Amino acid sequence: PVLVVDFGAQYAQLIARRVREAKVYSEIVPHTFSAEQMLAKDPVAIILSGGPSSVYEEGAPFVDPAIFTAGVPVLGICYGFQAMARALGGDVARTGLREYGGTAIDVCESGVLLSGSPQTQKAWMSHGDSVQRAPEGFTVLATSLGAPVAAFEDTDRRLFGVQWHPEVRHSAHGQAVLERFLYDGAGLAPDWTPGNVIADQVEAIRAQVGDARVICGLSGGVDSSVAAALVQRAVGDQLTCVFVDHGLLRSGEAEQVEEEFVASTGVNLVVVDAQQRFLDALAGVSDPETKRKIIGREFIRVFEQAARDIVAAAGAHQEEVKFLVQGTLYPDVVESGGGEGAANIKSHHNVGGLPDDLAFDLVEPLRTLFKDEVRAVGLELGVPEGIVWRQPFPGPGLGIRIVGEVTKERLDTLRAADLIAREELTKAGLDREIWQCPVVLLADVRSVGVQGDGRTYGHPIVLRPVSSEDAMTADWTRVPYEVLADISTRITNEVADVNRVVLDVTSKPPGTIEWE
């Protein structure tokens, strides 16, 4: 891999993604790794990321100079650039001139790193210290007002550096800098493609699983679906998928899993119809957190029983059912401990907390992938587009989109309204712009209306379209009025019991995305 050394800023993940966009595989390692540990990973190149620190600060992250003499091409970025300059005998100083944000760069010599780059360009800077003099053997490639040495390279030793952040989109030619380093500086080929990812994972899954049997909980979401499809590709009928139909899904979603997904991937699927069980368990409950707990608890019980049934069906070979597939993604791995060894793995939303007597080893074929890569792999595997591009949907489903008690009738009402909203938003081409659009039934609220000649006393439906990067923060999406008008007209005409449609215009914070 290309190793991206994380100096503690938020940039390491971004760099890793950009390297992969250049079709070269990358992994993040913490800066506390010794040179020996890094080299043990057989890196084809190393990128030192930016960081918050000054090289002069006490406790500033240390760069082991041994990585510069190991023959591995290295690119230093921002803090990594300064640390490299310092370690190799250059001068780094506080100039008093800080540069933040879009900054003009003058290219004085294009070299390898900046070949094809324009003479002057805007690049994203964030530094106080700057490199005053490059180490011996280096050619200075660029300068800026606050950085006499803003980029350098030593092609003999294959060492490169830039003061700015090529990984952020605000750096107009940033991706080109990374590509010049990877392709020309380090001589790497752009061959990390979804097809190769699949081939590698198939091999790894086969090696891990052997002849044993594997089970997987399908939720209908993209992660569990792509993970299952990969395992299916690797070990075929050794895999059994379990889909718990809790009756809280949106219109068409259960069918999509049961029919389209099975048809396109050929997985063995066990569908457990637990709709009545969930309705019974939820009867009389209005409190959101209690609903969540009940749904989570019932889910585990049903899944556990299905797993036991599969084990029992395997008869004398039951000890061989020993693997559980999880759709853990790379950001979870990085955030929960740097992806090294037995990092504590975030439990899957829907299958979290399986009982101890069902001790499975985990198969996590998406552990090295970012979400967009999971989608690319899914498409390559033939997973239906409707699943691959599915917007986020909470595990407790419509159960937390009915404000009030959950009943069969209310679920049907909400499903009908939700389907109309989805159809119209899709028709308007807004699916990618909208992160997700909860449709909420205010079951405990009634308002007076008039329809035909009669007075109505029905429930409101809330539309909650939001735009977001990661669901941590969100803004309400400015859906065109005409689209809102179409949704409103159709819902009030077509859905019995609903006589009002309202729009939620609250960002997050202070609102959350879901109403419960």
**From residue 331, how far is each of 14, 259, 336, 371, 446 by CA, in Å?**
11, 31, 8, 9, 43
Nearest distance, CB of residue 178 and ligand XMP, angstroms = 31
What are 296-302's contacts with CB under 8 Å, separation 24+?
296/352, 296/353, 296/395, 296/396, 298/246, 298/274, 299/244, 299/246, 299/350, 299/351, 299/395, 300/351, 300/352, 300/353, 300/354, 300/355, 302/244, 302/246, 302/272, 302/274, 302/277
What's 30-80 look like in SS3? ECCCCHHHHHHCCCCEEEECCCCCCCCCCCCCCCCHHHHCCCCCEEEECHH
Q: Tell me the C-alpha distance between 170 and 102, whole Å.
A: 7
Spatial neighbors of 466 by CB under 8 A, at least 6 apart, are 434, 435, 436, 437, 474, 475, 476, 477, 508, 513
Task: Indicate the residue among 14 and 434 with the shorter CB distance to ligand XMP.
Answer: 434
Contact in structure between 200 and 224 (CB atoms under 8 Å):
no
> Interacting stretch for ligand XMP, rule CB under 6 A, among 187-195, 203-211, 388-396, 442-450?
388-396
- H helical segments located in 314-445: 330-335, 371-380, 385-388, 408-427
> Interacting stretch for ligand XMP, rule CB under 6 A, among 38-46, 125-133, 440-448, 507-515?
507-515
> Interacting stretch for ligand XMP, rule CB under 6 A, among 250-258, 338-346, 389-397, 410-418?
389-397
Task: Indicate the residue among 394 and 458 with the shorter CB distance to ligand XMP.
Answer: 394
Annotation says 78 is catalytic: yes
Residue 503 makes contact with ligand XMP by CB under 6 A: no
Q: Please identify which residue in 394, 458, 460, 465 interacts with ligand XMP, judged by CB under 6 A.
A: 394
> Interacting stretch for ligand XMP, rule CB under 6 A, among 48-56, 73-81, 254-262, 505-513?
505-513
Task: Indicate the residue among 236 and 392 with the shorter CB distance to ligand XMP.
Answer: 392
At 494, list the tokens.
């077509």
- Per-residue contact string for residues 19-38; x = within reach of ligand XMP by CB under 6 A: --------------------
At 402, list the tokens.
């009915």
> Interacting stretch for ligand XMP, rule CB under 6 A, among 20-28, 48-56, 394-402, 487-495?
394-402
Nearest distance, CB of residue 472 and ligand XMP, angstroms = 8
- Per-residue contact string for residues 344-363; x = within reach of ligand XMP by CB under 6 A: -----x--------------
Annotation says 165 is catalytic: yes
Q: Tell me the C-alpha distance between 419 and 504, whole Å.
A: 18
Task: Indicate the residue among 47 and 439 with the shorter CB distance to ligand XMP.
Answer: 439
Contact in structure between 144 and 124 (CB atoms under 8 Å):
no
Q: Please identify which residue in 395, 399, 458, 465 interacts with ligand XMP, judged by CB under 6 A.
A: 395
**Catalytic site residue from 21, 27, 31, 78:** 78
Stretch 279-338 residues interacting with ligand XMP (CB under 6 A): 292
Nearest distance, CB of residue 438 and ligand XMP, angstroms = 7
**Catalytic site residue from 21, 167, 424, 516:** 167
Nearest distance, CB of residue 277 and ligand XMP, angstroms = 19
- Rounded to 5°, angle at Cα 285 from 307 and 392: 60
Nearest distance, CB of residue 221 and ligand XMP, angstroms = 9
Q: Please identify which residue in 112, 145, 471, 503 interacts with ligand XMP, judged by CB under 6 A.
A: 471
DSSP 320: G
Q: Tell me the C-alpha distance between 327 and 313, whole Å.
A: 25
Task: Indicate the residue among 436 and 488 with the shorter CB distance to ligand XMP.
Answer: 436
- Per-residue contact string for residues 180-219; x = within reach of ligand XMP by CB under 6 A: ----------------------------------------
At 102, list the tokens.
């879009």
Task: Indicate the residue among 308 and 349 with the shorter CB distance to ligand XMP.
Answer: 349
Residue 514 makes contact with ligand XMP by CB under 6 A: yes
Q: Please identify which residue in 396, 458, 460, 465 interacts with ligand XMP, judged by CB under 6 A.
A: 396
Nearest distance, CB of residue 423 and ligand XMP, angstroms = 20
Nearest distance, CB of residue 278 and ligand XMP, angstroms = 14
Residue ranges at the known binding site for ATP:
219-225
**DSSP letter for each residue of 417-451:** HHHHHHHHHHHTT-TTT-SB--EEEETT--EEEEE
Q: Please identify which residue in 392, 408, 457, 494 interacts with ligand XMP, judged by CB under 6 A.
A: 392
Q: Tell me the C-alpha distance between 59 and 53, whole Å.
A: 9
Q: Tell me the C-alpha distance between 338 and 292, whole Å.
A: 30
Stretch 429-458 residues interacting with ligand XMP (CB under 6 A): 436
Determine which helix (DSSP H) or strand (DSSP E) holds 502, and give its type and residue range.
Answer: strand 498-503
CA 371 from centre of chain: 4
At 452, list the tokens.
């035909």
Tell me the catalytic residues: 78, 165, 167
Residues of this chain that interact with ligand XMP (CB under 6 A) are 292, 349, 392, 394-396, 436, 471, 508, 512-514
